[in-house]
Structure 1
Amino acid sequence: MELPDVLGLPVPGARLRALRADDWPLDQALSQVPDVPRWTYFPADISEEVARERVSRSLALRADGRGGRFVVELAGAGVGAVGLVERVDGPYVHYAFLPAGRGRGLATLAVRAVAHWALVHGAHDVRAHTMLGNVASERVLERASFERSGVDVDPLGVTVERWTRTRRTDPTHQ
């Protein structure tokens, strides 16, 4: 999967661009937002070194064609990240936003754009997981045309809701 460097968003001044090595401060900032580690697998309060390592792993994933992350920019500032990772059962989308990027529909638009890109480029479906009780993330996926597809317990013992968006549920594939 060769991800593009930039995906447009229908919001003036907003775009998705490929994560770069100098984006580690965004990872560090996301780790300091209390609900990001609470509702995701994002570690809490990471150091600069750990943030740099996380970004480096994401860049290696992209270079290997197994996925990657995009920075969600608004007026040139990074306000969140959306990733796509190829797993054995298909691509999965994940995302996290700073408070400055919330309440504007950016998460929904970014998830929708990444999922649509994957579907147009050959994926049969795109999946996501939310931890039970993460209502805000559930709303993002619902608005991005994902449907609930069951409940699982992940390898870490966390109960998650499964979500799927298929070509059939992709509004632009009608």
Structure 2
Amino acid sequence: MTEIETQRLVLRRFRVQDAAAMAAYRNDPDIARYQAWPSPLTSEAATDQARVYSEQDPEQPGWFQYAIELKADRRLAGDLGVNLHDNLLQADLGYTLAPALHGQGYATEAVRAVLGHLFRRGLHRVSAECDTRNAPSARLLERVGFALEGRRPEFTLNINSGLWTDTLLYGLLARHWQEPATVPQPAAEATGLQ
């Protein structure tokens, strides 16, 4: 299954046509400072990346990057990656949302939808990492049920700034996952995960 729908979003396979919109939000300095990718992302590199994303298989071990599309205007809002482990029972999760869409509940809605999909598929555990400076992202993870499991001092080298940053480690077990009973209310949104 490569498409997941929510009330306001479609999480789908990337298309090459998504490259320009992806480059625009990934090149925003407030987004890039929490990420490990090189910035700026050129249009050629964005096209190549969108092509790679479009060929990934969500059922196989490795990364699958969902394009987060707004139903209202079919605009690319961001992306959400799932790294399925070789055992097919665990995954890592990361997300990025265009800055203009922060604070409207879109990232929370997307993360909850993907978590529900993964746990219904039979996954045992989902993990996530977060730059300690990215408080909105940490709050989002905790809001959807992740538990803070640790902190790695100076664990991630940001290739754009040359700074070593601390990383927060989060985990969520299937037995602790709770499907939301209501539509999530907008809250401060995260700028992304590594």
State whether TM-score is above 0.5: yes
> Which of 61, 64, 72 lines up with 1:68 in the alignment?
64
Aligned partner letter, 2:128: A
Relative to total residues, which structure has the larger helix share, 1 or 2? 1
State how far apart, in whole Å, the 2-side matches of 1:61 and 1:15 are: 17
Residue matched to 1:57: 52
Note if contact 2:127-2:171 (Cα within 8 Å) is conserved in structure 1: yes
Distance 1:53 1:158, change over 3 A: farther
CA shift at 1:64, angstroms?
7.7
CA shift at 1:158, angstroms?
4.1
Note if contact 1:108-1:140 (Cα within 8 Å) is conserved in structure 2: yes
Q: How much identity, in percent, do the aligned residues show?
A: 25
Note if contact 1:112-1:145 (Cα within 8 Å) is conserved in structure 2: no
- 1:4-153 to 2 correspondences below 5 Å: 4-11=1-8, 14-62=9-57, 65=60, 66-74=62-70, 75=72, 76-87=74-85, 90-152=90-152
Note if contact 1:31-1:43 (Cα within 8 Å) is conserved in structure 2: no
Note if contact 2:156-2:167 (Cα within 8 Å) is conserved in structure 1: no
Task: Flag the structure with more relative contact order, 1 or 2, with Cα contacts below 8 A and sequence separation at least 6.
Answer: 2
Distance 1:97 1:155, change over 3 A: closer
State how far apart, in whole Å, the 1-side matches of 2:173 and 2:41 are: 35
State how far apart, in whole Å, the 2-side matches of 1:134 and 1:31 are: 15
Query: TM-score, normalised to structure 2's length?
Result: 0.77
Q: CA RMSD in A?
A: 2.3
State how far apart, in whole Å, the 2-side matches of 1:92 and 1:59 are: 19
State how far apart, in whole Å, the 1-side matches of 2:10 and 2:55 are: 22
Q: Provide structure 1 residue ranges, at least 5 long, that are not aligned to the other structure.
A: none
Aligned partner letter, 1:159: D
Note if contact 1:109-1:144 (Cα within 8 Å) is conserved in structure 2: no
Q: Does 1:161 align with 2:168?
A: yes
Query: TM-score, normalised to structure 1's length?
Result: 0.85
State how far apart, in whole Å, the 2-side matches of 1:64 and 1:147 are: 26
CA shift at 1:15, angstroms?
2.0
CA shift at 1:36, angstroms?
1.2
Distance 1:57 1:64, change over 3 A: farther
Any idea what SS the aligned residue of 1:26 has? helix
Distance 1:72 1:44, change over 3 A: same
Which range moved further: 72-81 or 60-69?
60-69
Distance 1:121 1:64, change over 3 A: closer
